[in-house]
Amino acid sequence: MDPVAGQDVRRKLPEGLGAALHETAEDIAALLRADADMERRIPGATWSVGEAAAHLALANELMAQLAAGHARPYGDGTPQSLAGANERSLAEFGERRAEPLAAMIVEHADACAASLGEGILEGPVVTPLGPMSPAELGAYLLTHMLGHGYDLARALGRPHMLDRARVELTLPFLLTAMPRVAEPRTTAGMNARYAIRLWGGDAFGVTLADGVVTVDERPPAGPDCTISIEPVTFLLMALGRQGQVSPLLRGRILVRGRKPWLAPRFPGLFTAP
């Protein structure tokens, strides 16, 4: 049965996540199938389009295997170890053609969504960024595809596939990952309470107590600093694809609270996963 057509296999996923996984994978595949130049470099990165697509195919396969209950060690969760694992996997995988990679990206995304929807996992799964619930794993896959899909779209001069609905579906992963990717050099000794509000959607809280980062699904009462941000801008900044100066100047980030000077410090509290 087609995992997209069979909505019953999505019953254990948050509403809309299964469809978003398939549609994002298809959007990326469409970029590659539109006569993509696989040798073109990704702006601001060392990878080519072909290497980024190969990485996506391999990462989607890894996520599908995790969702099916198979252990797949991949680095130790630090940015350095993940980068090393990425380079080793690319060196061992020679496919760089558009059509095979497009097919793999969709196949493995659908396989991951189907396994998650069927409830194969009975508890947390160990991912490259630590233990996660099945729903968080699905959001992890979506976040990863959106980040690299954005890179591919920029490189190929095509529209990206990020929108508010998809960004909101990444939040279970982002809220889980943020304490794990906190940057000790910038959080050390810091005390602050942030409320983060996505325009027209969700909100959450980030609290620092003597440098220890806690993330909550609801904003804290009486936050020191409230950051209201356009959702796509939020995800691009969270993934290290965009700085904060341009969004601030364009009014895509609004700040209020008794300590507004804490807002510019917020992105530097984390290392992009």
Please tell me whether residues 189 and 114 are part of one structural domain: no
pLDDT in tens, 93-111: 999 999 999 999 999 999 9
pLDDT at residue 80, as a whole number: 83
Say yes or no: 153 and 210 in one domain.
no
CB 167 within 8 A of CB 239: no
49 and 155 Cβ atoms separated by less than 8 Å: yes
CATH number of the domain residue 246 falls in? 3.30.1050.10
Domain of residue 215: give its range.
182-269
* Contacts of 83 by beta carbon, 8 Å cutoff, 6+ apart: none
User: 212 and 80 share a domain?
Assistant: no
CA distance 55 to 61: 10
pLDDT for 177 equals 96
pLDDT at 122: 81
Could you tell me the CATH number of the domain that includes residue 59? 1.20.120
Domain check: are 103 and 203 in the same one?
no
Low-confidence ranges of the chain (pLDDT < 70): 1-11
Strand pairing report for 192-198 and 225-229: parallel
Amino acid at 219: P
List pLDDT tens digits, range 51-90: 999 999 999 999 999 999 999 889 887 878 888 999 999 9
pTM: 0.93
